[in-house]
Chains A and B, each alone.
Chain A
């Protein structure tokens, strides 16, 4: 199948619907509406998984599919008063945890080979290589954080979530998220100092 098949936007008229309204329609059996939710969120979700996994695009993409599959399969658990994004990241964390359990040895895929992924992603060659090296170092640093601290940092910096929303995703309190964010940043700073010296 080519992307051209999707270029005729089948979602005209639906653009104005909120994520919540779309997901409620999916829940009611109109599963095609998941298409627009995919269009809206797959990049951000890929980013979350990519940084959580340490930069393996292929593995992250498999997990993106898995998250959307679970949202379809468990659509009845979506509640009308919830936030779609919160629910999606909630499932994404479960998918991630399962993946890490199954691939214990490859829990965090930081690898020079991932630089190729990164460069293959349409970045300009010159600045691309330097950026890719920065990302590699970043992922090596992130790898040394505990997964709990890492995810708070990824959600707040890459997904630009506020503490309140992160708390909902993680099923914890805002105060706890705040403390983790602080600790994660401090740890990361120390790790960076060590890498640089």
Chain B
């Protein structure tokens, strides 16, 4: 056995994949050849360095995000109408616009509007109607980009991305169009992640002047199984003084597996709505410990 073929086999030797009789032959050659032993030592150092490198622990998000993705995938297996909003979002997602690229384009557009707008305002004390027109066009384009961002991200397998999508609602300054509202309502009703559903509710509540949103929120009551979302929705109904939610709230009470705390909360909400008393401000501590809520009149009207 010569030195060249010996050195060719060192990788196999170290990974334990050198068969007999090559193995014995290699060991015999090494015993008598200093240059091959030096070579072995050198590659062994590299091999050991490789062996010492460990992988970091997965972040705490990895597992929940996997299960959210799995649940999301499962929901796509159920047959649904071809042109449903969900189908559209899925199509948008399948386009696979690289998110960093999309986000970059979005940031650039914001910068551009800021820069151009600032320049005009600083250099032209009297903005002409034409300038204002252009500014308005630019602003409208940014608004559209926000919507595209929102619609693209809201069906992302990652809950973090969906939360980000929902957070764009605020930046739309109430200019959410029907597509966005449908997407948000669909997320509120179907997202597998409670945090995403809660954030969506929070984003939708300020838009309740829109009758579609208002009605969507009323109907969402029947869709929710999480006690957290049920309570939050009941709160919103009271704040909106939404009497149409009364049948939905009463129907919820009949659910066999209703959480005890939620039950009292809903009874309280029904009471408040049907007696027409003003809605409790959001800062009022929620009295989840309360087992009976009647008679309500004994409770001082929000004096606490």
Question: Which residues of A come within 8 Å of B, CB atoms?
Answer: 1-3, 5-6, 29, 31-32, 34-35, 38, 42-43, 46-47, 50-51, 57-58, 61-62, 64-65, 68-69, 72-73, 102-103, 117-118, 120-123, 131, 134-135, 138, 153, 156-158, 162-163, 178, 181-182, 185-186, 188-189, 192-193
Q: In chain B, what residue has the closest Cβ to A61? A: B62
| A72 engages B70 (CB within 8 Å) | yes
| A118 engages B56 (CB within 8 Å) | yes
Interface of A is mostly: helix
| B49 engages A192 (CB within 8 Å) | yes
A1 partner, pick from B9, B11, B67, B157, beta carbons under 8 A: B67
CA distance A43 to B55 in the complex (A): 8
CA distance A156 to B15 in the complex (A): 8
Q: How many A-B residue pairs have CB under 8 A?
A: 127
CA distance A5 to B193 in the complex (A): 12
Known pairs A1-B64, A1-B193, A3-B63; A138 contacts B56 (CB<8 A): no
- B66-114 residues with Cβ-Cβ distance < 8 A to A are 66-70, 73-74, 77, 98, 100
CA distance A35 to B52 in the complex (A): 30
B60 partner, pick from A3, A47, A135, A182, beta carbons under 8 A: A3
B55 partner, pick from A31, A51, A162, beta carbons under 8 A: A51
A61 partner, pick from B46, B52, B58, beta carbons under 8 A: B58
Query: B38: shortest Cβ distance to chain A, in Å?
Result: 11
Q: Is B158 an interface position by the 8 A CB rule? A: yes
Interface of B is mostly: helix
Question: Which residues of B come within 8 Å of A, CB atoms?
Answer: 8-12, 15, 17, 42-43, 45-47, 49-70, 73-74, 77, 98, 100, 157-159, 193-195
Known pairs A1-B194, A192-B46; A181 contacts B11 (CB<8 A): yes
Q: In chain B, what residue has the closest Cβ to A62? A: B158
Known pairs A31-B74, A57-B56, A103-B100; A65 contacts B50 (CB<8 A): no
Give chain B residues whose Cβ lies under 8 Å from the Cβ of A42.
58, 62-63, 66
Query: A33: shortest Cβ distance to chain B, in Å?
Result: 10
Give chain A residues whose Cβ lies under 8 Å from the Cβ of B74.
31-32
CA distance A118 to B11 in the complex (A): 28
Give chain B residues whose Cβ lies under 8 Å from the Cβ of A157.
15, 47, 50-51
